[in-house]
Amino acid sequence: MRFLLTDEQSVFARTVRSLLGSAQVPATVRAWADGDPGPGRALWARLAGTGLFALAAPEAYEGVGLLPLELSLGFVELGRAGVPGPVVESAAVSVLLAELADEALAKRFLPGLAQGEASATLTLPGGSPYALDADAATYCFTVSAAGELRLAAGPGEVLRSTDPARRLSLSPAGGGELLAAGPAVARAAEVAGRWARLLTAAQCLGVGEALLARTVEYAKQRTQFGTPIGSFQAVKHRLADTLLDLEFARPLVWAAALSPGPGEVAAAKLAAGEASYRAAMTALQLHGAVGYTEELDLSLWLRKARPLRDAWGTPSACRAEVLRSLTPPRR
């Protein structure tokens, strides 16, 4: 299997990274956490100019086709920059509508999502009952265990998570506009759920890389006994272990993007989520008490690591999926 990126893919990833590098994302994250989605929506519009959101929609509806590898590359950069908002959920909704193959629904929602003019959040059966950023998203979709796809009339009570920029609302049971129902909805929801898990894994990878990079820089600057702590053997080993965790997770994410089966995607999410969380623990330990302070931008990534590790598939759920994929069916 080929894991080297093409020139086009590398240029796309660099373009997204360059845009985010000049976008003052930390200020955007803080505004989002305070309930002001304006800067986030402006950033969303700029990202749409790269074609990022079009990678989850068919060409017939203003997209460029469903391209999970290219989309994963973009989502690594979103995680590295700490971009707030229901980016994973918006892409998953686009995939769900594309898989559903209902032309009326596709025409109604997909062009806006593909062009970044609209955003969406989503809850699926068997997953979290909480919708991410339903108060800021243009649309709130929910799929019930009975196979009903509904458009909620509005968000429920907004809750706070470990990450203040992840605003959660309890998805309403029933109610709202019924868009579709039946086995086709359940099948489309299953595919959309795998894409959401894959893209969250890509986000985790980016968050872990950002945490490691910031920790390495801090280890070069912080001194003890007149010596940078980065020169201490124990610190070197801890940083090296963190790097290895991330580098072992990376090919699993690319493999899952190329062959997005349930087991492959679960393995990628498990590895990337755990690597990101361990990177957060390393960053917190080596930064010491200063790592807890909200004024330090590091906290924006520290607070994302655990929620993203558990979003769209907790470690235990992913382990169970990997085991199912490796267990031969009974005759």
25-39 average pLDDT score: 94
What does the block give as tokens for 57? 């929609």
Say which DSSP state 124 is in.
-
pLDDT per residue as tens digits for the range 185-240: 999 999 999 999 999 999 999 999 999 999 999 989 888 888 888 888 899 999 99
Cα-based distances in Å from 263 to 24, 257, 311: 37, 12, 17
Neighbours of 119 (CB within 10 A): 23
173-191 average pLDDT score: 91
C-alpha span between 217 and 200 (Å, rounded): 26
The confidence band for 3, taking pLDDT boundaries of 50, 70 and 90, is low
Q: What are phi and psi of 139, to 5 degrees?
A: -130, 150
Q: What are phi and psi of 187, to 5 degrees?
A: -65, -45
74-80 average pLDDT score: 97
Neighbours of 238 (CB within 10 A): 18
pLDDT per residue as tens digits for the range 123-174: 999 888 899 999 999 999 999 999 999 998 766 677 878 898 999 988 666 6
